[in-house]
């Protein structure tokens, strides 16, 4: 009997995504899609039952979401979905405007050779007109 060569279907496929990351993604998307509303209490046992995972996975995901600002831990009441105030929203958009402006400035000051062609001439004209537009590096 002749041995056949092993092909790629014989290989074991490893899933690089951990259970904690899956739980984190599920909870994050539930918050972002308003399945969990701002101010809702997040009872670990209920989340474990709904997600079908251990409390450890849920706790780790909740701590991560706390670091992202999506979950708050109250003193004795446990975790809840964070409530974003009007002031918080203003701060977020202010920061976003600054970052987007910086991204545009960095892209136009040091573009890659392949992508620079369409931006090269308009940027030079803008740089000559505007005293703020400088690319000193």
What does the alpha-carbon distance between residue 92 and residue 45 come to, in Å, rounded to a whole number?
32
What are the start-end ranges of the H helices in the chain?
Answer: 19-32, 44-51, 55-68, 86-109, 117-129
pLDDT score of 17: 82
Q: At what angle do helices 117-129 and 86-109 cross, to 10 degrees?
A: 110
DSSP letter for each residue of 76-100: TTEEEEPPPPHHHHHHHHHHHHHHH
Nearest Cα neighbor of 55 from 64, 65, 46 is 46
What does the alpha-carbon distance between residue 133 and residue 105 come to, in Å, rounded to a whole number?
8
pLDDT score of 41: 93
Mean pLDDT of 10-32: 86
Structure tokens at 70: 């999506």
User: Could you tell me the pLDDT band of residue 125, with boundaries at 50, 70 and 90?
Assistant: low
More confident residue, 118 or 25: 25
Question: Would residue 42 be called left, alpha or beta, if left means φ above 0 and alpha means ψ between -120 and 50 degrees?
Answer: beta
Mean pLDDT of 64-91: 90
For the chain, what is the mean pLDDT?
A: 82
pLDDT of residue 101 exceeding 70, the answer is: yes
pTM of this structure: 0.60
Measured on CA atoms in the order 13, 17, 18, 19, is the torsion positive or negative? negative
pLDDT of residue 28 exceeding 90, the answer is: yes
What does the alpha-carbon distance between residue 26 and residue 35 come to, in Å, rounded to a whole number?
11
């Amino acid at each position: 009997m002749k041995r056949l060569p092993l092909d790629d279907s014989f290989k074991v496929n490893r899933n690089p995504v951990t259970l904690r990351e899956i739980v984190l993604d599920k909870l994050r998307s539930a918050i972002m899609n308003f399945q969990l509303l701002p101010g809702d209490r997040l009872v670990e046992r209920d989340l474990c039952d709904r997600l079908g995972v251990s409390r450890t996975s849920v706790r780790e995901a909740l701590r991560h979401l706390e670091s992202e600002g999506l979950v708050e831990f109250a003193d004795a009441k446990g975790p809840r979905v964070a409530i974003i105030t009007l002031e918080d929203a203003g701060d977020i958009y202010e920061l976003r405007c600054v970052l987007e402006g910086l991204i545009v400035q960095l892209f136009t000051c040091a573009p890659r050779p392949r992508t620079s062609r369409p931006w090269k001439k308009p940027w030079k004209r803008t740089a000559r007109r505007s005293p703020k537009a400088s690319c000193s590096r």
